[in-house]
């Protein structure tokens, strides 16, 4: 009798689990992410940063951060009713990538900085990443992956302790990716943000074209396209959107400093 009950329970779990994961979970996560307090997102984002790289791996040159933070501020100031305080963390590594964490932290690898030819191109990357934060994409993806881990743990009976939570967050970065719908939303709203901040909207397109052109020459692990899959269709959509926007880019104070600033991490290593 006990065996029959156990088998029935197992069968019910196996039937319900896929329905929950593929049908109910996305709806629950979409709703939940909107109500997650910013303070929780900030705390979780900081916990991921602490385990992501050693302190000495971050590039903290004051000249560099002054230039980069000014670009970030231009974008942040152009977001109405923005509840987030954005922070940049530059990892001294040749990887060409950037990540948006819940709460406002954006991790950028120095390899990506070296690919940029202007503050406008860097702003294009930041504008895209900012949208992942303000639209809760990062929080939704991490909640989804955490829910998957919980579901597996429920089925196997193996649960980690609280101290493993931030470690899981670090590991999630290695597999973090957004579906096409979320990427296109980040593209679209990111380009609008560029225009609002008076940066060149075509700079975002140039960066995607660089990523696409160089993808065959780089290790695919953790490169920008591995976590932000770009397609010709996305670039095409951005070009169409750019033609619909009225852009009035200006010369920014960072322009004259950019060529030196973008290589500071490389030269200091």
Residue 174 confidence class, pLDDT cut points 50, 70, 90: low
Residue 113 lies in a domain: yes
Q: How far apart are CA 204 and CA 192, in angstroms?
A: 11
Are residues 177 and 144 in contact, defined by beta-carbon separation less than 8 angstroms?
no
Residue 234 lies in a domain: yes
Q: How far apart are CA 147 and CA 256, in angstroms?
A: 47
Are residues 100 and 85 in contact, defined by beta-carbon separation less than 8 angstroms?
no
Residue 98 confidence class, pLDDT cut points 50, 70, 90: very high
- Within 110-257, where are the H helices? 110-115, 119-134, 137-156, 164-175, 180-196, 202-214, 224-227, 232-244
9-23, 121-135, 167-181: which is most confident: 121-135
Q: Left, alpha or beta for 96 (phi > 0: left; psi -120 to 50: alpha)?
A: beta
Count Cα atoms within 13 angstroms, Cβ side, for 218.
20
Q: What is the dihedral of CA 168, 229, 152, 101, to 10 degrees?
A: 30
Q: How many domains does the chain have?
A: 1
For the segment 13-42, the average pLDDT, to the nearest whole number, is 63
Query: What is residue 58's DSSP assignment?
Result: B
Say which range, 19-28, 31-40, 85-94, 209-218, has the weakest mean pLDDT. 19-28
Are residues 84 and 134 in contact, defined by beta-carbon separation less than 8 angstroms?
yes
Q: Which residue has the tokens 């030819």?
A: 117
Asked if 114 is an active-site residue, the reply is no
Q: What does each C-alpha distance from 91 to 45, 60, 125, 230 come to in angstroms?
A: 15, 9, 15, 23
For the segment 95-117, the average pLDDT, to the nearest whole number, is 94
What is the average pLDDT score of the chain?
A: 80
Residue 20 lies in a domain: no
Q: How far apart are CA 33 and CA 5, in angstroms?
A: 36
Q: Which residue has the tokens 């955490």?
A: 146
Residue 25 lies in a domain: no
Residue 1 lies in a domain: no
Q: Which residue has the tokens 């709460």?
A: 103
Residue pLDDT, tens place only, 105-115: 999 999 999 99
Residue pLDDT, tens place only, 206-258: 999 988 876 655 555 456 655 666 677 889 999 999 999 999 999 888 888 99
pLDDT at 128: 97
Residue 123 confidence class, pLDDT cut points 50, 70, 90: very high
Residue 29 has a CB neighbour count (10 Å cut-off) of: 19
Residue 82 lies in a domain: yes
Residue 58 confidence class, pLDDT cut points 50, 70, 90: very high
Across-strand partners of 58? Answer: 91
Residue 97 lies in a domain: yes
User: Choosing from 42, 121, 129, 202, which is the catalytic residue?
Assistant: 129
Top pLDDT among 56 and 16 is at 56
Residue 104 lies in a domain: yes
Identify the domain containing residue 248 by its residue range: 36-268
Q: What percent of the chain has pLDDT over 90?
A: 45
């Amino acid at each position: 009798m006990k065996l029959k009950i156990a088998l029935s329970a197992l069968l019910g779990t196996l039937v319900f689990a896929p329905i929950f994961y593929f049908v109910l979970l996305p709806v629950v996560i979409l709703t939940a992410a909107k109500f997650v307090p910013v303070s929780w997102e900030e705390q979780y984002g900081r916990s991921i940063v602490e385990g992501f790289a050693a302190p000495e791996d971050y590039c903290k040159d004051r000249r560099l951060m002054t230039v980069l933070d000014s670009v970030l501020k231009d974008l942040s100031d152009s977001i109405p009713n923005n509840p987030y305080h954005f922070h940049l963390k530059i990892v001294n590594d040749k990887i060409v990538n950037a990540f948006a964490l819940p709460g406002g932290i954006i991790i950028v690898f120095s390899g990506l900085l070296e690919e940029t030819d202007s503050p406008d191109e860097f702003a294009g990357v930041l504008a895209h990443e900012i949208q992942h934060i303000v639209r809760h994409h990062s929080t939704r993806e991490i909640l989804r992956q955490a829910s998957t881990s919980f579901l597996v743990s429920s089925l196997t009976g193996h649960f980690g302790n609280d101290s493993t939570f931030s470690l899981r967050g670090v590991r999630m970065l290695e597999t973090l990716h957004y579906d096409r719908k979320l990427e296109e939303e980040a593209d679209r709203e990111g380009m609008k943000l560029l225009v609002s901040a008076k940066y060149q909207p075509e700079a975002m397109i140039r960066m995607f074209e660089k990523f696409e052109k160089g993808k065959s020459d780089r290790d695919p692990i953790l490169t920008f396209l591995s976590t932000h899959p770009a397609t010709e269709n996305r670039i095409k959509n951005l070009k169409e959107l750019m033609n619909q926007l009225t852009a009035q880019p200006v010369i920014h104070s960072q322009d004259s400093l950019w060529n030196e600033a973008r290589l500071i991490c490389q030269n200091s290593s």
